[in-house]
């Protein structure tokens, strides 16, 4: 008998049809790896034949990287109350380096679990938290440096490869395999992604697999410049709006359109419980900014933050399964004055919180001074660092200034520390940067942060288009992705203006899929052009349905087409 009221269950467990409907002419397939429980999902798009004078010419199916999780699989049984089936439990257990705890070891996690007032909205099937055995390190980087290829590494190798070797051996694909040479700016994209290549990239810190041992539901994915460029989406309730069921629906919606990872930036009430619902049902890695929740615990007063509160929050979230933490440890006391002459000061919320703390106490940022202790927590659960750019520019005027780059240099120093602990790291980047100054960000990040994956917000290449900032930033994102950024944090049309609704999320994601794909093509990622070629062939042959089905948003392509009568003279390609 569930303790959760029926009304809440009904609302929370019913995903709308639009977020779960399979894509047209598509089916979910699984490619099995070296063990039967290693099954990598892909989407197969079937095409119609071409009618030629010599008869029918087959158009073989196209395989698409699939972030949507089991939700688009008509054979999967979805039960949000129970959460997704686990993908990784056996792999984690086999390693024998973790232990199940008796309950949350964070004070806050313990308190929330035992608060009877929360029973009505608590996720019911709470997992028992898992932690590394004493003295053990359970990060993918640690395994990689021991020479171990984990199932997670093999999984992402298969996922990145997208059956490319098979397609190359199949003469039906000869025409769509045509591809222009890329300009990779020093990236090292192999012809085929092997598990050993994945291991090497992780071992040297050039890529990460964000996969907390407490998030066994995750379908592993990799972030690094020698792999497909990824995109992150953000959701989050606020004090004012939205509920748990809306956030879960948005998470599934994000997965549907192609979000590779998702950050939960909630600031309202019941953050802890909302996060649990999301994690248990999330096929993608989940990131958070723990300082946001810590701030809620001290009633929004930055100066009241303490290392102890943040530490407890890190453990609370790590034991729920958060896969990466944004940690603003590079906002040093001495950097704060560097922002005084800026046009737009400090615009990062995390940066602003830490800067206020530093000034109030006139002490060094406690995330910096306690960084080694944070590493100890990260490696006990395999939470990856996303080292936050708290001093990122909030306007073109402030781009690439001393404050921004001073922080970036400190992030490089912290990367080294994290790597001494074998903790995975990515580096956050801007922001607002005019086009001609975008590349400098990438070049400096690669140098100062030793090629740790870069993860940027856009950047926006002009400030004058609120309501279109998915586009202003998509331009910057495509460019910085080309130069080497591993993951692009999406921006929606509501950026700077308000909270995105579902259509804004869709617009933001598709724009960023475009940017990421444009970057893959530009770098010369093997196989990246197959989908373009197949779609263009369909277009040229007036196979309209195939054109729609191969596009990033089949629903909207079809809808737009159906709004007006097709007339050949207006279909200039």
**Residues of span 310-339 touching its own copies by CB under 8 A:** none
Q: Which region, judged by CB under 8 A, interacts with its own copies, from 151-159, 304-312, 394-402, 403-411? A: 394-402
102 near its own copies, judged by CB under 8 A: no
188 near its own copies, judged by CB under 8 A: no
Residue 343 Cβ, how far from its own copies at the closest point, in Å? 6
Residues 112-151 contacting its own copies, CB under 8 A: none
CA distance 378 to 136: 12
CA distance 169 to 11: 49
Whichever of 169 and 573 has its CB closer to its own copies, that residue is: 573
Among 128, 183, 192, 363, binds its own copies (CB under 8 A): 183
CB-side exposure of 404: number of CA atoms within 13 Å? 27
Residue 454 Cβ, how far from its own copies at the closest point, in Å? 17
Whichever of 340 and 572 has its CB closer to its own copies, that residue is: 572
Phi, psi of 27 (to 5 degrees): -140, 150
Whichever of 95 and 539 has its CB closer to its own copies, that residue is: 539
Question: In a 3-state reduction of DSSP, which class is residue 22?
Answer: coil
Q: Which region, judged by CB under 8 A, interacts with its own copies, from 72-80, 124-132, 246-254, 473-481? A: 473-481
First-to-last alpha carbon distance for the chain, in angstroms, is 59
207 near its own copies, judged by CB under 8 A: no
Among 127, 199, 311, 494, binds its own copies (CB under 8 A): 494
Residues 442-461 contacting its own copies, CB under 8 A: 461
Residue 315 Cβ, how far from its own copies at the closest point, in Å? 24
Phi, psi of 269 (to 5 degrees): -80, 160
CA distance 39 to 41: 6
Residues 163-182 contacting its own copies, CB under 8 A: 175, 178, 180, 182
Residue 434 Cβ, how far from its own copies at the closest point, in Å? 4
Mask 222-261, x = binds its own copies (CB under 8 A)?
Answer: ----------------xxxx--------------------
CA-to-CA separations, 113 to 8, 127, 492, 517, in angstroms, rounded: 18, 12, 35, 43
Phi, psi of 456 (to 5 degrees): -115, 155
Among 486, 401, 491, 399, which residue's Cα sits nearest to residue 449?
Answer: 486
Among 380, 8, 445, which residue's Cα sits nearest to residue 205?
Answer: 445
Question: In a 3-state reduction of DSSP, which class is residue 554?
Answer: helix
CA 385 from centre of chain: 13
Residue 278 Cβ, how far from its own copies at the closest point, in Å? 18
Residue 470 Cβ, how far from its own copies at the closest point, in Å? 8
Whichever of 169 and 464 has its CB closer to its own copies, that residue is: 464
Residues 525-564 contacting its own copies, CB under 8 A: 529, 531-533, 535-537, 539-540, 547-548, 550-553, 556-557, 559-561, 563-564
Residue 239 Cβ, how far from its own copies at the closest point, in Å? 7
CA distance 422 to 202: 10
Residues 256-275 contacting its own copies, CB under 8 A: 267
426 near its own copies, judged by CB under 8 A: no
Buried/exposed 322-341: b ≥16 CB within 10 Å, e otherwise: bbbbbbbbbbbbebbebbee
CB-side exposure of 484: number of CA atoms within 13 Å? 24
Quick one: residue 513, left, alpha or beta (phi over 0 = left, psi -120 to 50 = alpha)? alpha
The secondary structure of 398-432 as a DSSP string is GTT-HHHHHHHHHHHHHHHHHHHTT--EEEEE-SB
61 near its own copies, judged by CB under 8 A: no
- The DSSP bridge pattern shows strands 62-65 and 39-45 to be antiparallel
Q: Total residues at the site for its own copies (CB under 8 A)?
A: 94
Among 67, 19, 490, which residue's Cα sits nearest to residue 260?
Answer: 67
Residues 352-371 contacting its own copies, CB under 8 A: none
Whichever of 368 and 512 has its CB closer to its own copies, that residue is: 512
340 near its own copies, judged by CB under 8 A: no
Residues 495-524 contacting its own copies, CB under 8 A: 495-499, 501, 510-511, 513-515, 517-519, 521-524
Whichever of 195 and 393 has its CB closer to its own copies, that residue is: 393
30 near its own copies, judged by CB under 8 A: no
């Amino acid at each position: 008998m569930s303790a959760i009221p029926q009304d809440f269950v009904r609302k929370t467990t019913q995903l709308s049809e639009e977020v779960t409907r399979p894509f047209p002419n598509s089916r979910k397939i699984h490619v099995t790896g070296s063990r039967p429980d290693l099954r990598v999902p892909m989407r197969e798009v079937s095409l119609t034949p071409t009618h030629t004078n010599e008869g029918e010419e087959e158009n073989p199916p196209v395989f698409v990287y699939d972030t949507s999780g089991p939700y688009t699989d008509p054979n999967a049984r979805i039960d949000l109350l129970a959460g997704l089936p686990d993908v990784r439990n056996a792999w984690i257990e086999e390693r024998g380096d973790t232990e199940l705890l008796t309950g949350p070891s964070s004070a806050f996690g313990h308190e929330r679990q035992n608060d009877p007032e929360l029973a009505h909205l608590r996720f019911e099937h709470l997992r028992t938290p898992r932690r590394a055995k004493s003295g053990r390190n359970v990060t993918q980087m640690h395994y990689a440096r021991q020479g171990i290829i984990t199932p997670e590494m093999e999984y992402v190798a298969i996922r990145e490869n997208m059956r490319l070797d098979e397609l190359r051996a199949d003469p039906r694909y000869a025409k769509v395999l045509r591809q222009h040479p890329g300009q990779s700016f020093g990236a090292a994209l192999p012809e085929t992604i092997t598990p050993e290549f994945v291991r090497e990239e992780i071992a040297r810190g050039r890529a990460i697999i964000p996969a907390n041992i407490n998030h066994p539901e995750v379908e592993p994915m990799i972030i690094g410049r020698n792999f497909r460029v990824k995109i992150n989406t953000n959701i989050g309730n606020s004090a004012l709006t939205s509920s748990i069921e809306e956030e879960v629906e948005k998470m599934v919606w994000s997965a549907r359109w192609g979000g590779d990872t998702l950050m939960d930036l909630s600031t309202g009430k019941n953050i802890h419980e909302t996060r649990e619902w999301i994690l248990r049902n999330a096929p993608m890695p989940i990131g958070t900014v723990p300082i946001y929740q810590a701030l809620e615990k001290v009633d929004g007063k930055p100066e009241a933050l303490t290392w102890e509160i943040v530490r407890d929050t890190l453990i609370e979230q790590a034991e729920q399964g958060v896969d990466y933490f944004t940690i603003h440890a590079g906002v040093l006391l001495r950097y704060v004055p560097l922002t005084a002459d800026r046009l737009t000061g400090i615009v990062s919320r995390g940066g602003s919180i830490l800067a206020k703390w530093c000034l109030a106490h006139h002490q060094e940022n406690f995330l910096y001074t306690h960084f080694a202790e944070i590493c100890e927590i990260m490696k006990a659960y395999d939470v990856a660092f996303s080292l936050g750019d708290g001093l990122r520019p909030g306007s073109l005027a402030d781009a690439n200034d001393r404050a921004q780059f001073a922080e970036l240099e400190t992030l490089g120093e912290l990367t080294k520390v994290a790597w001494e602990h074998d903790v995975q790291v990515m580096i956050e980047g801007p922001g607002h940067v005019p086009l001609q100054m975008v590349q400098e960000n990438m070049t400096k990040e690669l140098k100062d942060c030793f090629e740790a994956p870069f993860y940027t917000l856009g950047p926006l290449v002009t400030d004058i288009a609120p309501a279109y900032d998915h586009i202003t930033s998509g331009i910057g994102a495509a460019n910085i992705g080309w130069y080497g950024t591993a993951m692009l944090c999406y921006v929606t049309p509501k950026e700077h203006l308000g909270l995105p609704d579902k259509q804004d999320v869709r617009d933001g994601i598709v724009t960023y899929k475009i940017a990421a794909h444009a970057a893959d093509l530009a770098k010369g990622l093997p196989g990246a052009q197959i989908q373009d070629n197949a779609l263009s062939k369909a277009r040229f042959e007036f196979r309209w349905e195939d054109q729609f089905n191969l596009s990033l948003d089949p629903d909207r392509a079809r809808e737009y087409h159906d709004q007006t009568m097709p007339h050949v003279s207006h279909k200039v390609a």
